[in-house]
Amino acid sequence: MNAPHPAALEREQLNRDMAPLNLSPLWEVLHALVPREPATPCLPAHWKYGEVRPFLMRAAEAITAEEAVRRVLILKNPGLGGQAAITQSLFAGLQLIMPGEVAPSHRHTQSALRFIVEGTGAHTAVDGERTSMKPGDFIITPSWTFHDHGSQAQGPVIWLDGLDIPMIRFFDAGFSENDVNKSQAVTRAEGSSMARYGHNMAPVQHDAPFGKTSPIFSYPYDRTREALERLERDAPIDEWDGVKLRYVNPLTGGAPMPTMATFMQKLPAGFEGKGSRQTDGAVYSVVEGEGVALIERNGQSWRFEFGPRDHFVIPSWHTARFSSKRGCVLFSFSDRPVHQALGIHKEERLS
C-alpha cells in the first residue's frame, strides 16, 4: 500500500485543527452545495383514499377536533426523514371534522389553503366571514388571519390542508396565537368576498384586505369546472397539461397566495400526455375520474394509478407524464410564486 499523499495528511490535519473554531473546507462540499441540477431528497409518493380514509375515521374515535385543535393526518414525504413536510417547502395533510365539532379559532403567519375532498355542510370562518365547504372548492386562509372551522353536516367532512409551514420555518419567521373565542363572531354575510371580488369587478374604494393574498375567500368548484369543460370543448388541448388553469388573485393577476400557486386541470378521455418537469414540486388532489401519473428521475420510475380523492406528490425536477382513459380532474398546488419571485423558476417540456 502506498503511504497517503502528504497533502492529504496535511488537509486532514487542517480540518481537525479548525473544526473547534466552527470552520470547515468548502472544497469538500462544493458540488453538493451547488448541484448541476436540482437534487431533491423528496420522493414521489401516492396516498390512495381508500387506504387513508379508515385512519381518518379511527382518528375521529381517538380524539375530538377541539382536543386536537386540528384533526389532521400529515402526508409525509418518505424521503424527508420523518419531517412534517410533503416537499422541502410545503406541508400537506388531510383534515376531518365531524358533525357538531369546532376546530378553535387561531392565527399564524403561515398561509393555508383548503381543498375540499369529501362531504358538504362544514364551514370555515376567516376575519368574520364564513364560507361553506363543498367538494372541489378551494378556500384560502391568509397569513395572520383568525380562522376556525365548524360543521353542521350530516357526516364527516374532509379536506386537504396545504400550508407553507416548512418555508416559514426555513426563514424562522413564524408566529401564532390563539383567539379568545372558540369560534369567531360572524360580521359579514357569506358570499361578501365573492360579490366584491369574484365577478371580474372590484370595489371602487378598496385596499387589498389581505395584503398580498387574494381577497377571494372561496373559489367554488362549479365555476372552475364549467370553465374547464368549456375549454375542453372549444379550445386546443395542451399536449402536456390537457386543459389547465391557474387560480388568480383578481387584484394582481398573480397567484392567490404569496407562497403558493394553485391549479385545476382536466384531462380529456383518452389523453396521453407528454412529459414535463419543473423546479416547483407539486401536490395533487384527484377530484374526479381516474388516470396514471408516470414519474421519472435519473433512471428511476414510479407509476401512480390514481382515482377520486387520491393524493400524490411530484417532487422538483421529476419528469411527469399523465394519461387518462376516461378523463379526470386534478387540483394541484406548489410553491411556484416563490420561484418566480426569485427568478429561478424553470420548466422543461419534452417533445
Residues that bind ligand 1HN (CB under 6 A): 70, 72, 91, 93, 95, 103, 112, 147, 161, 163, 165
Of 52 and 293, which CB lies nearer to ligand 1HN in the complex structure? 52
Contact at 8 Å (CB) between 111 and 126? no
Of 266 and 311, which CB lies nearer to ligand 1HN in the complex structure? 311
Of 142 and 198, which CB lies nearer to ligand 1HN in the complex structure? 142
Question: In the complex, what is the shortest distance from the CB of residue 163 to ligand 1HN, in angstroms, rounded to a whole number?
Answer: 5
Residue 73 burial (CB count, 10 A): 18
- Please tell me the distance from the alpha carbon of residue 277 to that of residue 36, in angstroms, as a whole number: 16
Question: In the complex, what is the shortest distance from the CB of residue 179 to ligand 1HN, in angstroms, rounded to a whole number?
Answer: 11
Of 163 and 330, which CB lies nearer to ligand 1HN in the complex structure? 163
CA dist 285 to 8, 17, 95, 174, 332, Å?
52, 52, 14, 27, 6
Residue 52: φ, ψ to 5° = -85, -40
CA dist 259 to 83, 113, 313, 349, 350, Å?
20, 11, 17, 24, 27
- Cα–Cα–Cα angle for 68, 148, 331, rounded to 5 degrees: 90
Question: In the complex, what is the shortest distance from the CB of residue 333 to ligand 1HN, in angstroms, rounded to a whole number?
Answer: 14
Question: In the complex, what is the shortest distance from the CB of residue 84 to ligand 1HN, in angstroms, rounded to a whole number?
Answer: 7
Residue 330: φ, ψ to 5° = -125, 130
Of 177 and 229, which CB lies nearer to ligand 1HN in the complex structure? 177
Q: Which of 324, 170, 297 is nearest to 241 (CA)?
A: 324
Question: In the complex, what is the shortest distance from the CB of residue 158 to ligand 1HN, in angstroms, rounded to a whole number?
Answer: 12
Of 147 and 297, which CB lies nearer to ligand 1HN in the complex structure? 147
Question: In the complex, what is the shortest distance from the CB of residue 147 to ligand 1HN, in angstroms, rounded to a whole number?
Answer: 5
> Which residues are paired to 271 by β-bridges?
324
Residue 71: φ, ψ to 5° = -90, 90
